[in-house]
A and B are shown apart, each in its own frame.
Chain A
Amino acid sequence: NAGVTQTPKFRILKIGQSMTLQCTQDMNHNYMYWYRQDPGMGLKLIYYSVGAGITDKGEVPNGYNVSRSTTEDFPLRLELAAPSQTSVYFCASSYPEQSSEQYFGPGTRLTVT
């Protein structure tokens, strides 16, 4: 199993550009999540999905969009990138049981200048 994979690993965007961060998992997990990591702030949930076709906002959804057309994929779209979106983005997945740990991808480091 590859687990949770994310592409790209690094990206530099200009202000106002758009991009999609890709996330794929091969563990047949129902639940998938997008987090951003800001220094000294831990992880903040952007969006999550409990299954194909179902998504919901997390703590910091503004400026982002998601879709979940398959169980495996959960792309995160940034529209009109802003410097405040400079961060490291982690995708994660889990089984639906409340005691299930989350499995994290390797992260995407995004800089908006």
Chain B
Amino acid sequence: ILNVEQSPQSLHVQEGDSTNFTCSFPSSNFYALHWYRWETAKSPEALFVMTLNGDEKKKGRISATLNTKEGYSYLYIKGSQPEDSATYLCASHYNQGGKLIFGQGTELSVKP
């Protein structure tokens, strides 16, 4: 059974703080790592999809890195804002059938 683990489970920060979360995944037969942002009462939206070891992607104040050899990815948020409050999901992709295995998510709360 493939298991994707995210830590921490929840995080409370002040506006302006920088923060990061971890996603750990089995590295054998790995194809791609996805990060999604999921606001309350909405549906998940993709942030990044990464495939190569050492990949780094950035979107505004949010960036992500990927280490496929050791099976982890980090998501960083610089200067957190209240609108960054959401659950951040990672998911790994192991075969070309399209199936993603999701972690349980990190719930971020940013206080003004």
Q: Interface of A with B (CB < 8 Å)?
A: 31, 33, 35, 40-45, 48, 50, 56, 58-59, 90, 94, 96, 98-107
Contacts and interface: CB of A to CB of B under 8 A. Distances in A.
Interface of B: 9, 31-32, 34, 36, 42-46, 49, 51, 89, 91, 93, 96-105
Given A41-B104, A48-B98, A103-B46, 5 more contacts: A33-B99, A90-B44, A100-B98, A102-B36, A102-B100
Contacts, number: 62
A101 to B, nearest CB: 3
A60 to B, nearest CB: 12
A66 to B, nearest CB: 14
B98 A105 contact: no
A5 to B, nearest CB: 11
Contacts of A50: 97-98
A48 B99 contact: yes
A106 B44 CA distance: 9
